Structure 1
Amino acid sequence: MATALTLGLDAAAGGLFGIVGTALGRIAGYFEQKQQHVQERARWGHEYKLHELNMAARHQETELELALSAQQGSWAGLEASIKAEAALGKASQWVINILRLVRPAITLILWCITAAIFLITKESAITEAAVFAATAATLWWFGDRAPKSPISIS
């Protein structure tokens, strides 16, 4: 028969094992929670990198769209310029000759102004802007003005 002493020892041992089991469960829960935090941080880092890549892709797409629209606008301007020149129709030969001298004269004046700016100013930004403007104007005015070949390829 069980004595009070053995019953007390059994109760104490059961309580001790219950406390040890609870402590081990809490320790295991701590490490489990720590592992979940590591996984969450890794997931957040991945989502952050994915978000950065999406932003970079959108930025690049926007730049390409802007470049495309600028290029289309440039071609539309060239087309309008060519149509305006073609719309002159019949005129006196001396009027046509003077009209054809306007671009070379303006270009010569523009390059003389650019040379003067280059010689007078020591500010490189102003000089670079003047050279850019003169080059752009020259290529715009004479870029696609070569005589067309009378031979057509069919």
Structure 2
Amino acid sequence: MADLIGLAASAAGGGVFGLVGTVIGRIAGLVERRQDNAQERARWMHEAAVLDLQMKARASELAGQERLAQTSGAWQGLSASMAAEASIGDSYRWVNAVRALTRPLLTLLLWLITGLVYLGAAADARAGIVETTTFAATAATLWWFGDRGNRREVR
């Protein structure tokens, strides 16, 4: 009978240790899965951050290309305008005098309009309106008078 009790105790002890080992194995498996999930989550977050940075870089690149195209178009327009201006030949003296006074009078009128818009605009709308009219007046002034010096031909 002692052998039977010893055999039962051994079986029970082995079973308990087997169950404890299984529980420990399952817990270890859960811990490993959590670590794997955490690593996978970190990898996904890293990939998402990299994709976000790539999208921002591409958007910045496209914005730069757009600004370059706008600037290039503006310079081409200015070049065509200057070529058209240069192609106008001399005419009667009074026509040349009127043409010579047109730019100064238009510039004075443009700056007068800018001042009147500033004085007449509401305080909250004033900044945007003044920026736009100042841009127009400055661009016109510099373009109209920026290249007015005597031109010497280089041979």
Q: TM-score, normalised by structure 1?
A: 0.82
Aligned to 1:34: 34
Q: Cα offset for 1:105?
A: 1.6
- Give the CA RMSD over aligned residues: 2.3
Comparing 82-91 with 29-38, which one deviates more in the overlay?
A: 82-91
Q: Cα offset for 1:14?
A: 2.4
Aligned to 1:77: 77
Aligned to 1:147: 150
Aligned to 1:52: 52
Residue correspondences, number: 151
CA separation of 1:77 and 1:129: change in aligned 2, threshold 3 A: same
| Structure 1 spans left out of the alignment, 5+ residues | none
Give the counterpart letter for 1:148 in structure 2.
R
Q: TM-score, normalised by structure 2?
A: 0.82
**Within 1, Cα distance between the matches of 2:8 and 2:122?**
102
Q: Secondary structure at 1:107's aligned position in 2?
A: helix
Aligned to 2:134: 131
Aligned to 1:14: 14
**Within 2, Cα distance between the matches of 1:98 and 1:22?**
103
| Structure 2 spans left out of the alignment, 5+ residues | none
Comparing 108-117 with 141-150, which one deviates more in the overlay?
A: 141-150
Give the counterpart letter for 1:74 in structure 2.
A
Q: Cα offset for 1:110?
A: 1.0
**Within 1, Cα distance between the matches of 2:120 and 2:24?**
86
Q: Secondary structure at 1:148's aligned position in 2?
A: coil
**Within 1, Cα distance between the matches of 2:68 and 2:97?**
37
**Within 2, Cα distance between the matches of 1:64 and 1:128?**
23
Q: Cα offset for 1:79?
A: 0.8
Q: Cα offset for 1:94?
A: 2.6
Question: How far does the alpha carbon of each residue in 1:119-152 deviate from its partner, in whole angstroms, 9 at most, with x for none?
Answer: 34453233333222211221232233433344x3
CA separation of 1:144 and 1:72: change in aligned 2, threshold 3 A: farther
Aligned to 1:114: 114
Question: How far does the alpha carbon of each residue in 1:58-104 deviate from its partner, in whole angstroms, 9 at most, with x for none?
Answer: 12112211110111011111111111112223532332332232222
**Structure with the bigger percentage of helix:** 2
